[in-house]
Amino acid sequence: MNDSILRQNWRRVVDEVHEATDKAGRKVDSVKIVGVTKYVDAETTLELAQAGCLNLGENRPQLLWQKADHFREQSAEPVQWHLIGHLQRNKIRRSLHCNPLVHSVDSERVLKAIGDEAVQQDRVVDALLEVNVSDEESKTGLPIKEAAQLLGGGPPAGVRLIGLMAMAGWGTAPDEAKRSFDSVRELRDRLEEQCDVRLPELSMGMSGDFQQAIEAGATIVRIGTRLFEGILDR
């Protein structure tokens, strides 16, 4: 039952993302969809993967570990995990075992700690800097100045910084969201030039604003609620 609803939801989201990408004059495969599964259990998460969603995002490290364990126990097809919430330093070791793309590097301390652990584990971790383009106290992410300092210093061994992540803020109106996503892209362009780095990935856009994010240049959208319509509210 859930299974067929999930498949329909997934197809619809894929179609809408393709439509938005096409409308923005971009190549259809230039936007990756991360299914945000923090709302559902491991079994439903696995059903979503079986429906074709092979990039899965969690904001709580422990839930990511649990689900990765469940996938292993079920000998599921490998997926790419995405850690999209704040990563405490004492959760880095186990998280890196799941080989996630870390979207939420929000301090120099966390960046260093990820690097140290990555070197220990003999891996290279792909990560994004989470930025706060509005400089609102209430929002998460690095202030612009700190992001520039961090990039200027070069990432520690074991980490590859491949882009930026941002949130438009909950309940932001569409045109406001678009402006906020535009400013993330402009910040990326500035940082690339100032710091002589490449930041190809832009993780921005959620269920309510992914069209605006894609128009503004998102390469990764993080979609939760839309995938679980008809499942969560029963």
Q: Which residues bind ligand PLP (CB under 6 A)?
A: 36, 38, 59, 84-85, 206-208, 222-225
Cβ proximity to ligand PLP, 158 vs 172, nearer residue: 172
Minimum separation from the CB atom of position 106 to ligand PLP (A): 11
One-letter amino acid of 112: K
Minimum separation from the CB atom of position 85 to ligand PLP (A): 6
Cβ proximity to ligand PLP, 116 vs 226, nearer residue: 226
Task: Please answer whether residues 220 and 31 qualify as being in contact, where contact means their C-beta atoms are separated by less than 8 angstroms.
Answer: yes
Minimum separation from the CB atom of position 122 to ligand PLP (A): 29
Residue whose CB is nearest to ligand PLP in the complex, by number: 224
Cβ proximity to ligand PLP, 159 vs 177, nearer residue: 177
Minimum separation from the CB atom of position 66 to ligand PLP (A): 17
Cβ proximity to ligand PLP, 60 vs 112, nearer residue: 60
